[in-house]
Structure 1
Amino acid sequence: MHIDQWIESVPPTAVYALVGLIIGVESLGIPLPGEIALITASMMAVGGTINPWGVAACAILGAIVGDSIGYSIGRKGGKPLFEKLGRKFPKHFGPDHLETAERSFQKWGMWAVFFGRFIALLRIFAGPLAGALRMPYWKFLIANVLGGVAWAGGTTLLVYQVGKVAEKWLKDFSYIGLVVALGIGAASAWLFKRRAAKAHAAQAAHAAQAETASGGEGRLEPVKD
């Protein structure tokens, strides 16, 4: 069962805690699909099952608390912690991943924590790596709070608003939308096939011309002593 199906099977009142927990653990440095959990919960709010503001609040809290715990772990463990994790989980904490994240921190500083919220790789590394690199906590905390609000809150409200608009449009224009969608799909498929056929014909003609040209020119004469 995928994470989105699992969340949908959970009682509505428990979804808030589950979203906060998943995002918090991901922010702590453990690779979990926090973004998928957040989007799934936001879509559930579109249907009226849960409150979008509750989802946003729990997601923001989980992001900030999880990142802060990750910062403390990274500050105590330092780089040896990442080397150990890299040996155990090379897919997520390999040397290439660590090097990329470290370069981002060296270049952008506290902004790497803020923008790292929107990038899957940095979202996992942000807290622990900021601690390991000894970033001052007050700088980390500012970027952590702003990034958590912007990413978790912004994503929730964006998905919710888009979902509500789409739901209303589909409810009012369901048959029209279906016909238009089918028409666009058929037209796109026809156009794609036509372009593919033209490209294939042009490629064949070019190959034929090249073969004809090479038949009478470009022959190598044997080297005479």
Structure 2
Amino acid sequence: MEHWLTTIPPFAVYLLAGLAVGIESLGIPVPGEIILVAAAVMSSKHELSISPHGIAISAVCGAVIGDTIGYTVGRRYGHHLFGFLERKFPHHFNKDLIDYAEHVFHRWGMLAVFFGRFIALLRIFAGPLSGSLKMHYPRFLAANLAGAICWAGGTTYLVYYLGKAAEKYLKDFSYVGLGVALLFGLLLSTVLKRRLQRKVEAYAEQRRVEQAAPAAD
């Protein structure tokens, strides 16, 4: 495995990380975060000629470009886009989730774009939903760029330095340490996803109660 990894051209790793993050930012549910973490893990290995700076830059570019395309599509096609995504990816999109995301972006605006970058489900919605809600593009771009730098750059360098520490202190068990770090990251992502799902369900129930109240009157 280690020998195979040394044959991968660094450019291919940068391209894959940037494409994965960019496609996810378009609104298509691919595991961009997992691929970014895996690329950052590879950059921490001294046997591989992969730079964490290259990973970070490619991921930031992919995030900004993908979100911008998603924003443009969302601005032009609006809620027709979300109907299409709901039909094509029913396990990832539903009306309750879309309604909650729209509520968050209506309420928080630029902050939702920035902090949404750190939450997988909201990260998928950031570009298309901001465009659909007609957010002023310079404001969207500023929040998008800041979020991309903090999320993509922060994730890359955090995993990189954890990997270097594991390689230094665990020596022959460095891959085990990296695996543990990767598992921790995935568990944290799962916890955040479940918390978001509970908020989506609570908001959906609140909306149903509010809609039923006038009918009862």
TM-score range, shorter chain: 0.7 to 0.9
> Contact 1:73–1:128 (CA<8 Å) still a contact in 2?
yes
Identity in percent: 58
> Which runs of no fewer than 5 residues in structure 1 stay unpaired?
1-6, 175-225
Match of 1:104 in 2: 104
Match of 1:23 in 2: 21
> CA shift at 1:110, angstroms?
0.9
- Pair 1:9–1:131, CA change in 2 (3 A): farther
Match of 1:35 in 2: 33
> CA shift at 1:10, angstroms?
4.7
> CA shift at 1:8, angstroms?
9.0
- Pair 1:140–1:9, CA change in 2 (3 A): farther
Match of 1:12 in 2: 10
The number of residue pairs the alignment matches comes to: 168
Matches within 5 A, 1:70-89: 70-89=70-89
Structure 1's consecutive aligned runs of 4 or more residues displaced over 6 angstroms after TM superposition are none
Residues of 1 paired with 2:57 and 2:10: CA distance? 15
> Which runs of no fewer than 5 residues in structure 2 stay unpaired?
174-217
TM-score, length of structure 1 as denominator length: 0.71
Residues of 2 paired with 1:10 and 1:101: CA distance? 39
Tell me, what secondary structure is at the counterpart of 2:30? coil
Structure with larger Rg: 1
Tell me, what secondary structure is at the counterpart of 1:31? coil
Matches within 5 A, 1:1-225: 10-48=8-46, 49=48, 50-171=50-171
> CA shift at 1:87, angstroms?
2.4
TM-score, length of structure 2 as denominator length: 0.73
> CA shift at 1:142, angstroms?
0.4
Alpha carbon RMSD of aligned pairs, Å?
A: 2.0
> Contact 1:8–1:44 (CA<8 Å) still a contact in 2?
no
